[in-house]
Structure 1
Amino acid sequence: MRYTLAENLDTNAGNIATFGKLVGSAGNPELKPFKALAFDISYEKYFGTKAYFSAAAFYKKLDTYITPATNTAYDFRAAAGQVGLPIPPAGSVGTFTTTVNGNGGDLQGIELAVSAPFSLVLPALDGFGVSGSYSSTDSSVNLPNLTGLNPNQQVPTSGQTIPLPGLSKDNSKLTLYYEKNGFSAFIATNRRSTYVGSVANDSIGGYPTLRFIEGSSWVSAHFGYEFQQGPAKGLSIRVEVNNLNKPVYRQLNVDGTEQSKTETGASIAFKVSYKLQ
């Protein structure tokens, strides 16, 4: 097991900020892969070469799944000694995150997608179009056993179910695009609803507590050109911009109070590629 340790400033709501609190994470070599019995049915309809509509419904019976897990009272004394990190004034107890297996659950939902070139309605708008997708998923999985995180914290999990961590109930994407004569451009917005981010074994009420990630949306854009002829044929130049709306990601407690917040900024990437002819 490989640990990563850092000293951290804890600004959790309701607690006095303490410098030097240990935070660590590790992989889990005992993880089993996702294992499920799956069934799906789909319908697709095409209009010409670019327009289409599709719909799908699916069901999965999960045998195992993988979820992030957090121990808010982990004793890092042994791990700190292994990497030569001194114990800070706040003590050897800190927050430890890893991934664990859960066993058993159900997942079902629908997916819709559409792509519509504007030239279907008005030939003068050839090259312009819109595409979109939406999915709605319901899930229920057995609460994972967190006792492996710390043998001294036994947490009962019998009969408890939660939504599948990391999976939003609602996801959507809408894209406005232009593609013609080597030019390409699009602007897209993505949206996902609040979801379970991880399970923490601070044992409020005798059971693990959930950490939620608040629903968010983000906007991206792309502008590019691919040379169609001449010595530069196959050369592509593009600019990609992500997080145009500077989204803020919040981790929430069960009662909706803010656990942590991550502010982002727009990022710009300039890319050049070449396809051998």
Structure 2
Amino acid sequence: MLEHINLLKNALIQEFQPLFQQYKNDGIYACTLVFNSYMHIECAAVSTSRSIYAEEEDRAQYLAAQDRWNIQKWRYTSPLKKNSVLNRYRYALNDLAESKNSFSYSQTETAPHKTENQLQTLLDAFKQVKTVLMELYPQPSGQILFFIGLPAQPEIEIHSAHYLNPQSSLLESFINDREPKLQAVLHLKRFKLSQSDKDLLIDLAQLAEMDPYDELHMAHAAYLLTLEASFAETNLYIQRLIHAIAAMATGSKDSCAMQKYEIIERINQFYHASSYSTQPAC
């Protein structure tokens, strides 16, 4: 493992050192290894304070202040060459999505334990690269932010920034930029429905629409849905709704009887549009 990290570290240094050498006097504030949506390495990139538009004009300026963390607009990149040593790691994270040790958002605000997955190996190597670059191009602590650039997965960007950098105003600025993107991704995941999710919601709505509406019958029917083999794979929030309906039969203090229209309203929340009547039964 250590040999693997050293090889990766040396490959990364070969990519980043020319960028640091060229822009060392321009106020480098960010350094990232950019991945595309397929988890393939695209390029090494840096951004500089000199490149951001300011009152005093400079021929190097091209970047709006609000885009300081928008890596798609950064110009100072080092696309991988065919003979780059880093090419052997180009697909380093290709199977990250299937890795049992892949990152979750819950880890982003705490120091992660070392794991043997590929992303952790990359982070460990990148941390050593940072040490070497800071020795070659000394900067006060917290003046350059290092992170993994993966716009489609802001949770990984945030995690990497926490892992690679000390607390600083620069880190706070980056987190403030990525946090809304992360919340948007989590919101989409929450309401992203598979076909089986949609089928289950239809079944639930049909049960609620049966006349006359009976809470105990509805609770028992919901309980039977939880016994289906596919229930464990259902959207977590749909599971919670069905468990809440099933709990109506227990009469416990934690249970809450729901009327027909309340169940239909809850179902409609998953579609962001009314597919069923949301009016109380007459």
TM-score above 0.5: no
TM-score range, shorter chain: under 0.3
Taking structure 1 as the reference length, the TM-score comes to: 0.22
Higher relative contact order (CA 8 A, sep 6+): 2
Higher fraction of strand: 1
Higher fraction of helix: 2
